[in-house]
Amino acid sequence: MASSSSPPLLPLLLLLCMFSALTAHASGKGMALYWGWHVNNISAAGLELACKTRQFEQVNIAFLTDFGYGKPPTPDFGTGCDAPNGGCKYLQSEIEYCQSVNVKVLLSIGGFDATYRLPNEEEAHRLAAHVYDVYLSGYGVDGPLGKVKLDGVDFWINDTLSTAYWDVVAVDLKRYDEKLILTGSQACEHSLGVPDIPIYYALKTGLFSRVWARVFGNHYPCIYERGNTASFESAVRNWTTDFQGYVGDFRIAVDCHPRYIRGFIPPEEIEGALDIARKYPTYSGVAVTWRMAILPLLLLLCMAAAFTIRARPDHMAIYWGWHINSLRGSALKATCETHHFSQVNIAFLSNFGNGRPPRPDFGTSCDAQTGGCKSLQEDIAACQRLGVKVLLSIGGFDVRNYTLASAEEAHQLASHIYDVYLSGYGIDGPLGKVKLDGVDFYVNDDSTYDYWDVLAQDLKQLDGGMILTASQGCNHTTGKADMPLYRALKTGLFSKVWPRYYGRPCAYQPSDTAAFAASVKSWATEFSGMDFYLGLIANPLYFEEGWISPLELPGALAIAHEMAIYWGSHMKNLNNADLKATCETRHFSHVSLAFLTNFGNGRTPRLDFGTACDAETGGCKSLQEDIAACQQLGVKVLLSIGGLDKQQYTLASAQEANQLAAHIYDVYMSGNGIDGPLGKVKLDGVDFHIHDASTHDYWDVLAQDLKQLDQDMILTASQGCDHTVGQADIPLYNALKTGLFSKMWPRFFGHPCTYNPRDTAAFEASVQNWATEFRSIDFYLGILANPDFEERRFIKPKELPGALKIARQHENYKGVMLWNRYLDVKFLEDGNQKMASSSWPSIILLLCMATAFTISVHADQMAIYWGSHMRNLNNADLRATCETKHFSHVSLAFLTNFGNGRTPRPDFGTVCDAETDGCKSLQEDINVCQQLGVKVLLSIGGLDENKYTLASAQEANQLAAHIYDVYMSGNGVDGPLGKVKLDGVDFYVNDASSSAYWDVLAQDLKQLDENMILTASQGCNHTAGQADIPLYNALKTGLFSKVWPRFYGQPCTYQPRDNAAFKASVQNWATEFRDMDIYLGILANPDSEEERFISPRELPGALKIARQHENFQGVMLWNRYLDVKFLEDGNRAPYSDLIYRIVNPGSNMRIRAGF
């Protein structure tokens, strides 16, 4: 057990610091940091490192203290350095670094302990003179911090001191240098107009630029507490009102650690505090007390990764065991309970081969030799219940401790591993009676190649469901057996591989990413059948070479962001513009050779690559070598057909399409050795670059013919960006609808839909149209590489992040396509510092950084039903439901009693009585919800199928008209809910209902308002392709945007021990209705007549399965009453509060990282 004084391995310190930084940046507000007091002497707490984060505009060095009554002022910077003995002079260089990156460095005077006083005006004068001479004057005085010139003074004054003479210090300092920055910090407790804080009169001098109220402290009633924010809001109001016009701006000061002082605001609650503060115009940001920066490096990296990678449990893996020390939070169970990791590898099983009996070596965490690791059995079981896969990692760092010298040794090792760790036979082995999920091969690069492939085959024969993963050094060249596990990986039995990007030449270096990029490409392309993770080191203590800091991590992840480019057309002779050099930049995943043209109407297809080469005279055959070089580098080389001049091509008949397909395949794609215009090549696919004024022709027939000739052929498409969903307004519309294209890059230049930083509406609408209508196709932004082109508009590198931010809101967005390589290289020739394509990785990095440092918790991942089954509970009303900011959609349940001549009426349980107009008061709540961005839907149907039906198309027409007129039209009809305009209709249809006419109802509603949201809820039991649910025909209309199958009360509900039925159901829904967002419909409380409830602890396992599908978007809760009752039943919070961070952990990148 860790001692009580041990700092936690996963300290909330950094979580809050990171979250605060992100929150502050997201709102455009500044961040300040206190540094010094309580800082321990480790590298992560360094002043320079704090400034390198670029999260802070101001750092206050704390504290200059112990002054007054004739005592000389004394610096006390904690254990970080010993100022009285000259031990803090090294900070001079760090202070100068901070100032060089525009961070203001202030000296904070005072401190927590009231060991200082200003008993008279003379003492105030002396203090001001001392501070100025030693720290602020720039006279070259070699003081405790060396020869520094700080930017100002911060007054952190103990609340028990008097108000006297702090104003004198402030006035004196400003007289010495009017440009000095003065800031102040006081406890939050303050009454309007009352001098109840020591620096009251100082602040009233008007000399201070900002003040931060400390919202933490053991005895302050004004600290922020969720559910009781009145005192906090009152204090914020008093501060902002009292000092408006005197102090430039007001901030709140938060503490980074829950252990030391009351008032720590957990990360999930800080947004609530900031929402209150932002109501007041002088609020300007956050100050952070970085008081105990103990061992934050691991967390800082993991946090940055989690925030950058959309912190889903199936996106991070970790090694556990070897090098583990007794630190709080480092236990195996605690590791899994972070919900960060999908896989934990227990490291290592070693000491095998050459007749040695295999034995575990888990470092100091436990001694397997004496049975000390059997206690891990319980932790392993806990991890597996949470859905975390626990693997045994074999091998390790020391190559002398293991080998496999023969196939026989491989057989013996496989049997041992299976029997003791994987079989589930109940053998009481070193880890107790466990059944692990698989084996990880962590093999040192210096190992012999041995019989690792035999071991893998044996393990899979013993258990076909066993997971096999592998870790090797990142140095690898495609196609070369240059690593011990090469043959094993080539067996195809491994599901994941995490090359180690540390301690090697291929490690990521921000200043030179070429080796890293080449390695990533080699691994990702050669082993494309496996999930590929970046193996990173979580602390520079062991491998400083290759440690990727949190600030550098987005750059590494950005390498995987794809770029495509056109090469050929408009080409001229420029250095580095040739095809081979283009691929060797390693910037591009796809190069399209532009163009094959001159086809249709009996013309013979021919290549036109501009002045790059003349295909007519055989001058393009030399490209054969360049094409081969590109393909060896993993670049896909496509033949682009069509081009800029629509007069030069057409497809007037299906026969012409057939002939063109045969020509393209035979000459460029077959690999039959035809010596065509490009020599004997086998290109990777065909790009359709069709002019917007072309006819629609037979491009779909051409695509189908090409895929029939070679189903592995890549098909991509380029069209102008102007497109309206559902309209055949582009020549390639029918072709794209075949589902045969894997990528599309609409051209966002030369059209009204191009990106304009001042007015992005048309661009946003176009991106939305492309990404949603063709959501199964990877979507790229087609952009110009140079403003020197007849088509407009060029997106400058500094503007690109704005465009990418919009595009990246869509799951199928993958990167950018550049037009074209000549313009790209010419960008450099025109006097710019880099080629355009060399600027894009930097821009992409910046966007990744923006993603990492702007955590916008999207509420569109939780929906809830409100109304039916409602009782009177605190915070269960509609407005309070929306104000939790947990939910993107609230469905008012239910509108029922329709069909068979009945008049539709709402039934919201005991909340209100619509029959007596008792529900009109909901109008105000609905308006508040909509103002908060929550979509409010009317849910029709309900639990009792006897209360509703649609017996005819006419009844569907009548119901649609009623719903629209009374709830959706906005025509001012004073209906049961007052004068409302709801956002859409939810179909909650009992599984025992008839399937008739729901599709007619959906069509009628959409005809009345095409922007109306339609969602649906059905029981989860459904077989793909079968009309076994009442809403099947309705869902097949394609008019619904979301569906939330009910995974409760059915055999397909989630069971942690047997999830086969659940997994099959999720698969059926997600694949058959892939154009809709899929949510898991779950219960918010076990106290319901329907089963089965998924506890917060079990939910990650269910989500892990659901998140394998691109169209999974979150959960739907039944219902708000049960949700709030979960708290009333003795749990620590409503169910939605407990699962919110599990459901909605962060941003939306798909790159994976392994730790």
Q: Among positive and negative, which fits the CA dihedral 1095, 1098, 1102, 1108?
A: positive
pLDDT grade, residue 389 (50/70/90)?
very high
- The pLDDT score that the predictor gives to residue 776 is 87
Higher pLDDT, 271 or 974: 974
Of 226-230, 433-437, 895-899, 904-908, give the lowest mean pLDDT range.
Answer: 226-230
By DSSP bridging, strand 935-941 and strand 905-906 are unpaired
Give the long-range contacts of residues 916-924, CB within 8 A, separation 24 or more: 917/976, 919/976, 919/977, 920/974, 920/976, 920/977, 920/978, 921/978, 922/878, 922/892, 922/977, 922/978, 922/980, 923/977, 923/978, 923/979, 923/980, 924/879
pLDDT grade, residue 603 (50/70/90)?
very high
Residue 797 confidence (pLDDT) above 90: no
Of 47-61, 671-685, 819-833, give the lowest mean pLDDT range.
Answer: 819-833
The answer to whether 337 and 313 have CB atoms below 8 angstroms apart is no
Segment 736-749, tens digit of pLDDT? 999 999 999 999 98
pLDDT (average), residues 521-538: 79
- The pLDDT score that the predictor gives to residue 561 is 55
Higher pLDDT, 338 or 1090: 338
pLDDT (average), residues 389-393: 95
Query: Mean of the per-residue pLDDT values for the chain?
Result: 80
Give the up-direction half-sphere exposure of residue 813: CA atoms within 13 A in the CB hemisphere.
19
Residue 914 confidence (pLDDT) above 90: no
- The pLDDT score that the predictor gives to residue 649 is 94
Q: What's the gap between Cα 995 and its chain centre?
A: 39
Residue 963 confidence (pLDDT) above 90: yes
Segment 672-730, tens digit of pLDDT? 888 999 999 999 999 999 987 777 789 999 999 999 999 999 999 999 999 888 888 89
SS3 287: strand
Higher pLDDT, 1 or 565: 565
Number of Cβ within a 10 Å radius of residue 1028: 14
Place of tokens 């502050």: 24
Residue 1147 confidence (pLDDT) above 60: no
CA distance 149 to 140: 8
Residue 486 confidence (pLDDT) above 80: yes
Number of Cβ within a 10 Å radius of residue 728: 12
CA distance 650 to 694: 8
Residue 622 confidence (pLDDT) above 50: yes
Residue 492 confidence (pLDDT) above 50: yes
The answer to whether 483 and 530 have CB atoms below 8 angstroms apart is no
- The pLDDT score that the predictor gives to residue 800 is 79
CA distance 1009 to 824: 45
Query: What percent helix, strand, coil does the chain show, rounded to 5?
Result: 35, 20, 45
* Single-letter amino acid, residue 982: L
pLDDT (average), residues 162-174: 90
pLDDT grade, residue 559 (50/70/90)?
low
Q: What are phi and psi of 116, to 5 degrees?
A: -140, 150
- The pLDDT score that the predictor gives to residue 107 is 96
Higher pLDDT, 791 or 615: 615
Place of tokens 């990246």: 808
Give the up-direction half-sphere exposure of residue 466: CA atoms within 13 A in the CB hemisphere.
27
User: Which residues does 546 contact at the CB level (< 8 Å), separation at least 6?
Assistant: 501, 502, 503, 504, 507, 508, 537
| 772: its two tokens | 């949603």
Q: Is the peptide bond before 85 cis (omega within 30 degrees of 0)?
A: no
- The pLDDT score that the predictor gives to residue 305 is 30
The answer to whether 83 and 74 have CB atoms below 8 angstroms apart is yes
SS3 411: helix
The answer to whether 539 and 549 have CB atoms below 8 angstroms apart is no
Residue 858 confidence (pLDDT) above 50: no
Residue 627: C-alpha distances to residues 574, 668, 674 (Å): 19, 12, 15
- The pLDDT score that the predictor gives to residue 339 is 73
Residue 433: C-alpha distances to residues 101, 375, 425, 724 (Å): 56, 10, 8, 60
The answer to whether 169 and 127 have CB atoms below 8 angstroms apart is yes
Residue 300 confidence (pLDDT) above 70: no
Is 456 buried (19+), middle (13-18) or exposed (0-12) by CB count in 10 A?
Answer: buried
Q: What are phi and psi of 1078, to 5 degrees?
A: -105, 130
Q: What's the gap between Cα 221 and its chain centre?
A: 36
Higher pLDDT, 1117 or 220: 1117
pLDDT grade, residue 69 (50/70/90)?
confident
Give percent above pLDDT 90 in the chain.
40
Of 20-24, 200-204, 333-337, 1019-1023, give the lowest mean pLDDT range.
Answer: 20-24
**1086-1121 per-residue burial string, b: 16 or more CB within 10 A, e: under 16:** eebeeebbbebbbbbbbbbbbbeeebbbbbbbbbbb
SS3 720: strand
Number of Cβ within a 10 Å radius of residue 463: 15
Q: What are phi and psi of 391, to 5 degrees?
A: -115, 155
pLDDT (average), residues 887-900: 94
Residue 1081 confidence (pLDDT) above 80: yes
pLDDT grade, residue 392 (50/70/90)?
very high
* Single-letter amino acid, residue 434: V
pLDDT (average), residues 942-965: 94
CA distance 49 to 51: 5
Is 228 buried (19+), middle (13-18) or exposed (0-12) by CB count in 10 A?
Answer: exposed
pLDDT (average), residues 243-266: 62
pLDDT (average), residues 843-847: 37
CA distance 796 to 749: 12
| 451: its two tokens | 């019989």
Number of Cβ within a 10 Å radius of residue 1062: 25
Torsion of CA 1006, 1012, 1015, 1016, to 10 degrees: -40
pLDDT grade, residue 3 (50/70/90)?
very low
Closest C-alpha among 883, 903, 886 to residue 895: 903
By DSSP bridging, strand 862-867 and strand 813-819 are unpaired
* Single-letter amino acid, residue 99: Q
Partnered with residue 394 across adjacent β-strands are 349, 441
CA distance 591 to 563: 9
**According to the 3-state scheme, what is the secondary structure of 841-870?**
HHHHHHHHHHHHCCCCCCHHHEEEEEECCC
Q: What's the gap between Cα 111 and its chain centre?
A: 39
Of 356-365, 380-389, 631-640, 1137-1146, give the lowest mean pLDDT range.
Answer: 1137-1146
| 1008: its two tokens | 């009345």
| 271: its two tokens | 């947004």
Segment 307-346, tens digit of pLDDT? 322 322 235 788 888 655 444 446 888 888 877 788 999 9
User: Which residues does 766 contact at the CB level (< 8 Å), separation at least 6?
Assistant: 721, 722, 723, 746, 748, 753
Residue 1011 confidence (pLDDT) above 50: yes
- The pLDDT score that the predictor gives to residue 828 is 57
Closest C-alpha among 691, 686, 687 to residue 650: 691
pLDDT grade, residue 807 (50/70/90)?
confident
Task: Name the DSSP letter for residue 346.
Answer: E
- The pLDDT score that the predictor gives to residue 954 is 95
- The pLDDT score that the predictor gives to residue 488 is 93
Higher pLDDT, 170 or 138: 170
SS3 925: helix
